[in-house]
Amino acid sequence: MEKSDIPINEIISRVKHLEIRARKLVEDALQSEYHSVFKGRGIEFNEVRNYFPGDDIRDIDWNVTARMGEPFIKTYIEERELTVIFACDISGSSFFGSNISKRQIMAEVTALLGFASFFNNDKAGLVLFSTDIEKVVPPAKNHSHLLRIIRDTWHYIPENRGTDLNKSLTRLNNILKRKTIIFLISDFLDTGYEKPLSGLSKKHEVIPIVVQDTMEEGININLKSALPILVDIEDIELRETRTIDLSSHNKTDIGRFKRYYRLLFSKLSLDFAEINNKMNYYREIELLLRKRAKQRYS
């Protein structure tokens, strides 16, 4: 059940600059390459025909050409509408942030990509998850619908504070029946989800976006004495507090999660972005989209 009731006009004022930026990204930067960002999911194969002078040589079907002894090309029918799903992690760790919460970053990224899809007349939907899927907003394409997606990503209060990517991605795979572009937005502080992510990526196009906070790596301190520095640390998800000595434990276990998801994304050939609170994360997302468009046209 949704407990947050933030007025739409407040959301409009907070994301207006992202709407402008997304329009510029699509119209000026990506232009007609927008659909190519998604590995041809916006293009449906039609047929193979003889090559004619002036055809794009990148469309040559080399297998058919070799069999027939003359050049043939693949032709396509453009699907006028894509379906984009924002699958956002709203577990307790998403509320962490040294200067801005990871949850807010997730919402701002969703806003940027959501407006980009809106300006291209695509449907957008939302899935919020923690230990399981908590809310599903079916895909639609209108301005007020998009603002509600942004509001829920930013302000929906989760029923559960833990993280279970295995269960959530398994459920997501069962829910989505048609081929979909999925922006999987999470801090990925979990392991053991290789099987469901692999299954999801075979049916859909999955683009992970890892949201981090620089303080999660550890606390940098300059020790001038041998005295212990004791601090109380709270686990946001487990709601447990324990005391640690920073003089001997000033690094976290975040590296283990990074190694896991980086190896997994590489194994599944997934393009992904890693962003944090100290960088221009809008720019990082734009670079990811441009990189994908360039790969399609290279």
HEC profile of 27-41: HHHHHHHHHHHHCCC
**16 and 63 housed in the same domain:** no
What CATH number is attached to the domain comprising 265? 3.40.50.410
The answer to whether position 225 is within a domain reads: no
Helix-then-strand count for the chain, H and E: 8, 10
**51 and 73 housed in the same domain:** yes
As for how many domains the chain has, the answer is 2
Q: How far is residue 149's CA from residue 97's CA, in Å, rounded to a whole number? A: 22
State residue 77's pLDDT score.
Answer: 55
State residue 2's pLDDT score.
Answer: 43
Which residue type occupies 137? V
Please compute the mean of the pLDDT values over residues 234-251 and round it to a whole number: 52
The answer to whether position 163 is within a domain reads: yes
**149 and 263 housed in the same domain:** yes
Q: How far is residue 115's CA from residue 15's CA, in Å, rounded to a whole number? A: 10
**146 and 195 housed in the same domain:** yes
Q: What is the pTM of this model?
A: 0.75
**16 and 50 housed in the same domain:** no
Pick from 7-16, 142-151, 210-219: least confident: 7-16
DSSP class of residue 290 equals: H
Decide: 237 and 162 in contact? Cβ < 8 Å. Answer: yes
**69 and 135 housed in the same domain:** no
The answer to whether position 224 is within a domain reads: no
List pLDDT tens digits, range 17-29: 878 877 776 666 5
Expressed as residue numbers, the domain containing 50 is: 43-78
Please compute the mean of the pLDDT values over residues 243-269 and round it to a whole number: 77
